[in-house]
Amino acid sequence: MAGVQTAVALREQGFTGPVTLIGAEPHQPYDRPPLSKAVLLGKAEDSAFDIDFEALEIDLQLGREVTGVRPAAHELDTPSGPVPYDVLVIATGAEPVVLPGAGGVPGVHLLRTLDDAARLRPVLDEQHGVVVVGAGWIGAEFATAARAAGCAVTVVEAADRPLAGAMPAEVAAPMAAWYAETGAELLTGARVDRVEPGRVVLADGRTVPAGAVVVGIGARPATGWLAGSGIELGPDGSVTADGALRTSLPDVYAVGDCASFPSARYGERLLVHHWDNALQGPRTAAANIIGALAGDGAAPVAYDPVPYFWSEQFDRFVQYAGHHGSADTLLWRGDPAEPAWSVCWLRDGVLVAVLAVGRPRDLAQGRKLIEAGARLDPARAADPSVPLKSAIRQ
């Protein structure tokens, strides 16, 4: 997504020089969200982008792995020979975290690529009993698809609640009930000791039968190939881009899941592993590349978005905008036992994040208010009958 959008944005913004897009996968560039939905359930064969790369004069090189970069020579290393560049954009995304000890065990799957989805489709078609390791976003989405396909599903989560790394306990707690509503079993505080053929063994000795195991325990930036390049990486493995999405080396930019960036809005560096970031960041990078090549001395464009993502799970549409890490106030809009509700986070009275379950208007209005740095009246903001835009403190 991020690589494709960078190439397209360069053309849309008027760049006429050569553009080469290199990808390790052999498939036409594709969108990832449908992999856990339509593609997985067999409702679509793929999710390729509807882009005419030839008409845009983008040199698309598929099935070509990049093994390293030599900035001093302005060259990439590949098994078939070096690739020179004037400007390099790193858009290698993230790779899923592998469950320790599960490598090579038959029936253990990840869900990150088109090939992963293709391998999992027969599992759903044959209605195998499935164990999902991890109750994060991808675990919940896969569990939803597996139940829709008629599979028995057990989700095991090492933490005491779903979405432990993403949401506060009081917000995640009502989401635990969603699993049982669709017939999936959720086991929290359940750490996996090992995976054996046909079963998952938990640390407390319990065993869970498993016709297949799907691991969704997070992802990390795919930046191992940058070792020795001199490109600065953060403790989380991300490329530490600046506010213009430039890396620590000249003529090298980074976008999408592999890159973190400083947010003036939130006063911290953000690493955002979501679709919208892979859409928005490339537009900023393209503008700054074109400006730097023009040499007109114009100030670079700053990248400081309001992060946004969505998830479709258990017959609910969940949306989130912002970043709640530094919030000091949490407000509920509606009863979390009901089908639709929202949560707002404030910092010093200013809206910094909103989570909306079945309340798209709250999300749409909240996102604009976050962008504007709006200060809200807590009492009115906590009233679900009051539109968020009408809760601005005058």
Residue range 98-215 forms a domain whose CATH class is alpha beta
Which residue type occupies 199? R
Euclidean distance between CA atoms 263 and 275, whole angstroms: 18
321 and 370 Cβ atoms separated by less than 8 Å: yes
**Of the candidates 156, 146, 163, 170, which has an alpha carbon nearest to the alpha carbon of residue 314?**
146
Q: Residue 339: what pLDDT?
A: 93
H/E element, 281? helix 275-294
Residuewise pLDDT in 10s, the chain (394 residues): 999 999 999 999 999 999 999 999 999 999 999 998 888 888 888 899 999 999 999 999 999 999 999 999 999 999 999 999 999 999 999 999 999 888 778 899 999 999 999 999 999 999 889 999 999 999 999 999 999 999 999 999 999 999 998 999 999 999 999 999 999 999 999 999 999 999 999 999 999 999 999 999 999 999 999 999 999 999 999 999 999 999 999 999 999 999 999 999 999 999 999 999 999 999 999 999 999 999 888 899 999 999 999 999 999 999 999 999 999 999 999 999 999 999 999 999 999 999 999 999 999 999 999 999 999 999 999 999 999 999 999 7
Answer yes or no: are the C-beta atoms of 161 and 169 closer than 8 Å. yes
Give the separation between CA 83 and CA 335, rounded to whole angstroms: 56
Where are the extended beta strands (E) located within 232-383?
239-240, 252-254, 259-263, 268-271, 308-313, 316-322, 329-333, 341-347, 350-357
The β-bridge relationship of strands 219-221 and 94-96 is: antiparallel
pLDDT at residue 218, as a whole number: 93
Distance CA 204, CA 173 (A): 23
The rounded distance, in Å, linking the Cα atoms of 271 and 35 is 22
Distances (CA, A) of 346 to 145, 373, 377, 378: 34, 10, 10, 9
Convert 364-384 to b/e letters by CB count within 10 Å (16 or more is b): bbbbebbeeebebeeebbbeb
CATH 3.50.50.60 domain position(s) in the chain? 2-94+219-294, 98-215
Cα 224 to Cα 226: distance, rounded to the nearest angstrom: 5
Distance in angstroms (rounded) separating the CA atoms of residues 205 and 192:
10
Radius of gyration of the chain (CA): 22
List where CATH 3.30.390.30 sits in the chain. 315-391
How far, in Å, are 164, 201, 214 from residue 204 at the CA level? 20, 8, 20
What is the distance of C-alpha 227 from the center of its chain?
24
What pLDDT, on a 0 to 100 scale, did the predictor assign at position 105?
85
| Predicted pLDDT at 24 | 96
Residue type, 335: D
The sign one gets for the Cα dihedral 113, 118, 122, 125 is: positive
- Give the integer Cα–Cα distance in Å for 322 and 342: 14
Q: Which residue has the tokens 């698809």?
A: 145
Sign of the four-CA dihedral 50, 55, 56, 61: positive
Nearest-angstrom CA–CA distance, 173 and 128: 28
Note every long-range contact of 7-14, with CB atoms under 8 Å and residues 24 or more positions apart, other chains counting.
7/53, 7/56, 7/58, 8/51, 8/56, 8/58, 8/282, 9/282, 9/283, 9/285, 9/286, 9/287, 10/286, 10/289, 10/290, 11/56, 11/57, 11/58, 12/286, 13/283, 13/286, 13/287, 13/290, 14/290
Provide the total of helices (H) and of strands (E) in the chain, helices listed first: 8, 25
CATH class of domain segment(s) 315-391: alpha beta
Yes or no: domain 2-94+219-294 corresponds to CATH 3.50.50.60? yes
Cα 35 to chain center, whole Å?
13
Please report the pLDDT score of residue 38 as a whole number: 86
The pLDDT score that the predictor gives to residue 116 is 93
